[in-house]
């Protein structure tokens, strides 16, 4: 713990569990006050807030459906109001749907686009007026944007590929304001969505030279680096944390 983020205010979308919760806690451990959004898991969100507060930082849980544009705008306003401003936005909230193109239903396509692509766009759009020079926008993508494994991930990984262009464009747009924009791409990570003892876990391990799943804390470490003063000259970068999957 370096306390690199003392005095900073962060919002993590989808911060009640898994990678999002790990990011929220890691930012707080570095000194930031942290708001997080959740959709259904209020009890888990409050548990994360309690852990943040035990670190002596302010923690706020905000109920918001990232598929709902009005809820996104409200969550940004609530975070700014509760924390007194915003310095760091982490676009983490996402959903996964898997099927072949032939069998992909319209409702699932629309849900993926709404949460995984439109959500980060609208959250960033609402946050930019509040983020000053030195601010950070960090989005969570997937190593699957660069290497698709299996035949059912085409649409899901397409949404993650879109975040690469989104991040590069943001870096160009916000650089003159001294705001950085970066993308973290996790590989196989031990979460409820993709447990290290799951059905396809052995296959996933076999594809990465390190031969293991990441822990959520491994992804959070990449985010805290990008949020820190040490990364002040890093923008438009895709930081892949995948155990070597893409090598």
Could you list the beta-strand ranges (E) of the chain. Answer: 9-12, 33-38, 59-63, 88-91, 136-140, 180-186, 238-241
Q: CA 31, CA 25: separation in Å to the nearest integer?
A: 10
Beta 180-186 vs 238-241: how paired, if at all?
parallel
For tokens 């309690």, name the residue: 50
Phi then psi dihedrals of residue 62, to 5 deg: -125, 120
End-to-end CA distance of the chain: 30
Q: How far is CA 114 from CA 130, 131, 157, 208, in A?
A: 23, 24, 14, 31
- With 0-12 CB in 10 A as exposed, 13-18 as middle and 19+ as buried, what is 176? exposed
| Residues catalogued as catalytic | 156
Distance CA(196)–CA(199), nearest Å, equals 9
Return the DSSP state at 96.
Answer: -
Q: In what order do the strands lie in the sheet with 180-186?
A: 59-63, 33-38, 9-12, 88-91, 136-140, 180-186, 238-241
């Amino acid at each position: 713990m370096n306390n690199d983020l003392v005095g900073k205010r962060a919002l993590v979308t989808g911060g009640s569990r898994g990678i999002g919760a790990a990011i929220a806690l890691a930012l707080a451990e570095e000194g930031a006050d942290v708001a997080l959004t959740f959709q259904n898991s209020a009890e888990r969100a409050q548990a994360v807030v309690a852990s943040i507060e035990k670190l002596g930082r302010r923690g706020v849980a905000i109920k918001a459906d990232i598929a709902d544009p009005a809820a996104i705008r409200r969550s940004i306003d609530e975070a700014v109001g509760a924390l007194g401003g915003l310095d760091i936005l982490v676009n983490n909230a996402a959903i996964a749907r898997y099927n072949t193109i032939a069998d992909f239903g319209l409702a699932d396509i629309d849900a993926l686009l709404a949460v995984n692509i439109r959500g980060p766009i609208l959250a960033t759009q609402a946050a930019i007026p509040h983020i000053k020079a030195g601010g950070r926008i960090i989005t969570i993508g997937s190593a699957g944007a660069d290497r698709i494994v299996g035949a059912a991930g085409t649409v899901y990984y397409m949404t993650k590929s879109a975040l690469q262009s989104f991040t590069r464009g943001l870096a160009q747009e916000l650089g003159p304001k001294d705001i950085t924009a970066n993308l973290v791409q996790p590989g196989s990570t031990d979460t409820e969505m993709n447990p290290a003892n799951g059905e396809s876990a052995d296959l996933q391990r076999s594809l990465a030279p390190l031969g293991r799943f990441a822990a959520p804390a491994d992804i959070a470490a990449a985010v805290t680096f990008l949020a820190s003063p040490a990364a002040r000259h890093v923008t438009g970068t895709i930081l892949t944390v995948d155990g070597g999957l893409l090598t």
